[in-house]
Amino acid sequence: MSDEWALLSRVPDILEEYNYLNTPRNGGPVVQFEYPEDLKNLVDFTIDGDEPREQSDVESIIKDVLHYSVRTGHSNFHNQLFAGVDPYGLAGSWITDALNTSQYTFEVGPVFTLIEDALIKKCLSLFGFEDGDGILSPGGSISNMYAMVAARFKALPDVKRTGLSNQPTLVAFTSEEAHYSIKKAVHWLGIGIDNLVLVKTDSRGRMIPEELEMAIESVLESGRKPFFVNSTAGTTVLGAFDPFDQIADICQKYNLWMHVDGCLGGTAILSSKNAHLLSGSERADSFAWNPHKTLGAPLQCSIFILKQKGLLHECNAANADYLFQQDKFYDVSYDTGDKSVQCGRKVDAFKIWLMFKARGTNGLQTLVDNAFDCARYFTEEIRNRPGFRLRLDEYQYTNISFWYIPKKLRVELDQQNASWWARIYEITAQIKERMVKNGSVLIGYVPLPRKNIGNFFRMVVTCHPKPSFDTMKFVIDEIERVGEEL
């Protein structure tokens, strides 16, 4: 074995040495934070060498990168909607990268073609779609765009050939708490941001069906053509689930495509205790799910399914004759690449397929139930701990939003005026900054400007690394400790 290949056998050891695999509680800081200009002086980012490096130098480069990277597998990383990876998913990711093949034809990815087919069928069954089709895409934003492309083609079949010129002005609808990818989709597809209607939400962040119907009627009166409604299963900030049955009734009444962005909350389907959150979503025309979020499949792993079989191919196919010859020696219906917007496409299905194979649905449910249990424990601890205040009384998913109010700022309700709240919003950011700089906890904060609410913490509980009541309590204790130091 040449030295350059020998490096690969060292990579797992280096990852273990730097506590990036199954990080223990005492496995160092979540991040060794440095400002960008300082980091440039600590790591050589330039690409100007002419001669090959010694293997020891290459190892040193890798170690520098690891030293200053975020340990998303640390028990105190709660900053994003994703965190650590499932070990079976990681194994799948390493294998597919090593095999370095694409997902467009059966001849270059025979096993993976059938794996993706089996995974799509499993997801269709899981989410209550009796029949249909699907594809793995490079992230939830693209999955949501696939849905809008399919809806546009269904509404205006000639659009693929003629473009949007001389066509009715299309209008899409989504909640004001929905993911920003919907806004990007209307831009990229030429529909226009002015033709995206943001529907009002209730105090818990759920779309209000009556507001949706009024918005549709208003668009019809303007002479434009409604065609697409995006509903959300697990909003980014509050983890809210829209009322799918009521939205489905409205979409059926006006003959509109209903999509469910379940990139975050779709994982609830794996839990018999929590699958009720998705009730009514089976009536949608399409669904997007990211197992790389709560469930811990390695980034990226995004699944898009839809009910109408053949529509993906019909609206996306370009019939490239150098890839999709029709006189091949096998059944060309297994060449799935032409229903994709991509040509080269990573084999993402293997990661989550291997997780299903290794853990079974019961094993996956155990992971999901534990995440929900820990989120509920966290909520109750916050509810009962002096100085903490929940943003909502109850949470549907595993996102918990709250404030910490230091003792010196605890006042009666009638003294909690605008300037007082401004100080609480400021303190939230300051607590975050201190915890990042000392590497103890990474947790995000967000504002909700549409509801005139400033910064609050957003705690995200995921399946990996497996959370516990102790890890939940540590985050609360650390926020309290840092908050009292300010």
Q: From first to last of its 486 residues, what are the pLDDT tens digits of the chain?
A: 457 888 999 999 999 998 898 777 777 899 999 999 999 999 999 998 888 888 999 999 999 999 999 999 999 999 999 999 999 999 999 999 999 999 888 898 899 999 999 999 999 999 999 889 999 999 999 999 999 999 999 999 999 999 998 899 999 999 999 999 999 999 999 999 999 999 999 999 999 999 999 999 999 999 999 999 999 999 999 999 999 999 999 999 999 999 999 999 999 999 999 999 999 999 999 999 999 999 999 999 999 999 999 999 999 887 767 666 787 788 888 878 788 888 889 999 999 999 999 999 999 999 999 999 999 999 999 999 999 999 999 999 999 999 999 999 999 989 999 999 999 999 999 999 999 999 999 999 999 998 999 999 999 999 999 999 999 999 999 999 999 999
DSSP structure class, residue 346: -
Burial class (CB in 10 A: 0-12, 13-18, 19+), 296: buried
Give me the helices (H) in 269-417, please.
Answer: 311-316, 349-384
- The radius of gyration of the chain's CA atoms, rounded to the nearest angstrom, is 24
CA-based nearest residue to 435, from 413, 414, 453, 459: 459
Other C-beta atoms closer than 10 Å to the C-beta of 409 total 16
Written as six digits, the tokens of 216 are 């549709």
Q: What is the pLDDT, as a whole number, of residue 320?
A: 65
Specify the pTM. Answer: 0.95
Work out whether strand 302-306 and strand 257-261 pair parallel, antiparallel, or are unpaired. unpaired
Residues 6+ apart with CB under 8 A from 222: none
Q: What is the pLDDT, as a whole number, of residue 1?
A: 41
Q: What is the pLDDT, as a whole number, of residue 77?
A: 95
CA-based nearest residue to 144, from 208, 187, 87: 187
CA atoms of 44 and 65, how far apart (whole Å): 10
Q: What is the pLDDT, as a whole number, of residue 338?
A: 81
Q: What is the pLDDT, as a whole number, of residue 331?
A: 80
Q: What is the pLDDT, as a whole number, of residue 138?
A: 94
Q: What is the pLDDT, as a whole number, of residue 22?
A: 77
Other C-beta atoms closer than 10 Å to the C-beta of 137 total 25
Is 224 within 8 Å of 170 (Cβ atoms)?
yes
Paired strand residues for 402 = 390, 457
Work out whether strand 257-261 and strand 225-232 pair parallel, antiparallel, or are unpaired. parallel
Q: What is the pLDDT, as a whole number, of residue 322?
A: 67
Other C-beta atoms closer than 10 Å to the C-beta of 216 total 21
Give the long-range contacts of residues 314-317, CB within 8 A, separation 24 or more. 314/153, 315/149, 315/150, 315/152, 315/153, 315/154, 315/160, 316/149, 316/340, 316/341
The secondary element (H helix, E strand) that includes residue 94 is: helix 87-99
